[in-house]
Amino acid sequence: MALASSERPGPGAERRPPATSPTAPASAAPQSRAKRSGAPGSFMAWLAQSWMLLAFFVFFFLFWEYAVKLFHIPQYILNPPSEIVANGWADIRRLVSYFCITGLEAVIGYVVAIVVAVPLGLAIAFSSILRRTIYPFFVSLEMTPKIAFAPLFISWLGFGLLPKIIIVFLVCFFPIVLNAILAFSSLSEELTRFCRSTGAGWFQVFLKVRLPAALPQCFVGFKYAALNATVGATIAEFIGSDQGLGFYIQITTGNMRPDLAFAGIFFLTFLGLLMFGAVTLAERFCIPWHISVRRKS
């Protein structure tokens, strides 16, 4: 008879007390959210956490600066960072316009790859015919370095933007499609059974369970592809182009101007950071609940 009341106080070993009173559960959410995202004043917290990294960067560039002078390295081999910045600044208009061109190639190729690869991955995950035909074909193509096709596309399509976009697309497409296939075909057996027992239609299950469950694995592909995108654009420009950062680096290196080549490399790095950062931000926005996002924040 007194079962409920006699055993209730016992299980404290398992049950944590609620952080807020049960009558005001709504106040718990904003608190924990404020902790997660950066409130004002979080810059100081970030500084406290990252000062060692900053110190390392400062040390790295100071070492570079003085090592070049100390060992009398000729300026057609390597320049100190101060000269790279000064000479790069003098050529900033060209650098910025080339940055935009390479960025355009990388972003368009990347976005098109996502738009094509995700639905295709979904189709392959759910079609037994596609899984037996296209899927093994894609897996075997994984062994081929996609960048090896770059000279062919340049020779087929010439010097314009299109061959570069296609090459970026190629290097981004495969990681996205393979991760999407994995993402859409790995719903747990329990959740699959649970959904079937509700009698819900395919689309309802897709929208409410399959799609959100697939997002984390999809983002693995998106992030990997974001790193590939700038590599693809740069190499495509190396092979044949008359503009863009890849072209710039090749030309300046040929002209014995490593300072300007380095300036181009810094801009490429910045482009890579920008793309990866954007994808990471999108990930935080789309799957804030996922462990890979929670651990970082």
Partner 1 sequence: MGIAVDIKSVTKVFGSGPAALQAFGPADLAIEAGEFVSLLGPSGCGKSTLMLMIAGLLDRSAGDIEVNGEHVSAPRTDIGIMFQDNTLVPWRDVQGNIALQLELRGIDPDSRAGRIRELLRSVQLEGFEHRFPHELSGGMQQRAAFCQAMVHDPQTVLLDEPLGKLDAMTRESIRTDLQALWLQRRPTVVFVTHSIEEAVQLSSRICVITPRPGRIDRVIDIDLPWPRDMAVKRSAAFTNYVRDIQEIFHGFGVI
Residues in touch with partner 1 (CB under 8 A): 1-4, 6-8, 10-11, 13-16, 18, 20-23, 25-26, 28-29, 188, 190-191, 193-200, 204-205, 208-209, 212-213, 287, 289-291, 294
User: Among residues 84 and 293, whose Cβ is nearest to partner 1?
Assistant: 293
Q: Nearest distance from residue 110's CB to partner 1, in Å? A: 25
H or E stretch at 126? helix 92-126
Question: Crossing angle of helices 92-126/258-286, nearest 10°?
Answer: 40
User: Among residues 2 and 48, whose Cβ is nearest to partner 1?
Assistant: 2
Nearest-angstrom CA–CA distance, 178 and 140: 12
Residue 74: DSSP 8-state: -
Contact between 253 and 238 under an 8 Å Cβ cutoff? The reply is no
Question: Crossing angle of helices 92-126/81-90, nearest 10°?
Answer: 100
H or E stretch at 273? helix 258-286
User: Among residues 18 and 158, whose Cβ is nearest to partner 1?
Assistant: 18
User: Among residues 14 and 242, whose Cβ is nearest to partner 1?
Assistant: 14
Report the 10 Å Cβ neighbour count for 131: 15
Q: Nearest distance from residue 124's CB to partner 1, in Å? A: 24
Q: Nearest distance from residue 19's CB to partner 1, in Å? A: 9
Q: Nearest distance from residue 6's CB to partner 1, in Å? A: 6
Q: Six-digit token pair at 266?
A: 């810094």
Q: Which region, left, alpha or beta, applies to residue 256 given φ > 0 means left and ψ of -120 to 50 means alpha?
A: left
User: Among residues 2 and 44, whose Cβ is nearest to partner 1?
Assistant: 2
Q: Nearest distance from residue 216's CB to partner 1, in Å? A: 9
